[in-house]
Amino acid sequence: MKKMKTSRKGKVVIVTGVPGVGKTTVLSAALEICKQSSVQVDLVNYGNIMFEEASKSGLVKARDEMRRLPVKDQVRLQLSAAESIKSMAEKGNVILDTHMFINTPQGFMPGIPSWVAETLKPDSIVLLEAPPEEISARRKKDAAIRAREADEPWRITEHQLLGRSGAASIAVQTGCTVAIAHNMEGKHMEAAKVIADLLR
Ligand code: ATP
Ligand code: MG
């Protein structure tokens, strides 16, 4: 089967990683590198787009409540967010800050199920990873501002491994590439360069 051609002008790079690994931190640095090298890119946070709609329809008051909504509501919000992001990518490069699997009371829910992957047609997926103990410490540091999930290192390891399987499945399904970027303590610029290089 041939890969479908689209009229899209930009690339779509999806950046995933477990909560607290440092996606938002690393992506703001990647955006700065892109600006300095005159590469135009829109940074989009999937959860923010879903939250805009969820709060408009009165489903939640806070962003971190979304993962406790019934899965069917999350899926509906997810699909409509994918359509909005697809329209953005028609105009230029998009970096998408998202999660490969969301920990819900019903089990891990895929952040990029096949219908979202088919809508977004990513060029690359970046798995942002860090040692579980460091992620656990980052979550504890942010506890006052973010209601993140449990932080035992073995659970974080499990979640990161699941993320790799998800990226592999999407790569096989869509033909996108997969890059692993390590966000080591105090070295977020190194991970940011890996991401910015995908857009050059
Ligand atoms: P979420 O998925 O919940 O939005 P996130 O992956 O976007 O989380 P951030 O909010 O960027 O994570 O980072 C979590 C915490 O870790 C923040 O306090 C941030 O300052 C810190 N942090 C991020 N990267 C590093 C790093 N390389 N070294 C040290 N601290 C870091
Ligand atoms: Mg974030």
Q: Which ligand is nearest to the CA of 23?
A: 1
Question: Is the pTM for the entire model greater than 0.85?
Answer: yes
* Dist. CA 95–CA 12, nearest whole Å: 6
Q: 163 CB under 6 A from ligand 1?
A: no
Q: Are the C-beta atoms of 169 and 9 separated by less than 8 Å?
A: no
Strands 107-110 and 101-104: antiparallel
CATH number for the segment(s) 12-197:
3.40.50.300
How many angstroms is it from 101 CA to the middle of ligand 2?
14
Segment 112-125 mean pLDDT:
96
CB under 8 Å to 63, separation ≥6 — which residues? Answer: 47, 48, 51
Six token digits for residue 199: 């857009």
How many angstroms is it from 70 CA to the middle of ligand 2?
22
So what's the pLDDT on residue 115?
94
Q: Is the pLDDT of residue 25 over 90?
A: yes
Q: 23 CB under 6 A from ligand 1?
A: yes
Q: 188 CB under 6 A from ligand 1?
A: yes
Say which residue, 2 or 171, is predicted with more confidence: 171
Strand locations in the chain (E): 12-16, 42-45, 94-98, 101-104, 107-110, 124-129, 177-182
Helix pair 188-197, 23-36: axis angle to 10 deg: 60
Segment 27-36 mean pLDDT:
97
Residue 184 Cα: closest atom of ligand 1? 27
Domain boundaries, the chain: 12-197
Q: Is the pLDDT of residue 82 over 80?
A: yes
Q: What is the DSSP letter of 176?
A: -
Segment 82-107 mean pLDDT:
93
The region, left, alpha or beta by phi > 0 then psi within -120 to 50, assigned to residue 175 is left
Which range among 4-13, 52-61, 112-121, 181-190 shows the weakest confidence by mean pLDDT? Answer: 4-13
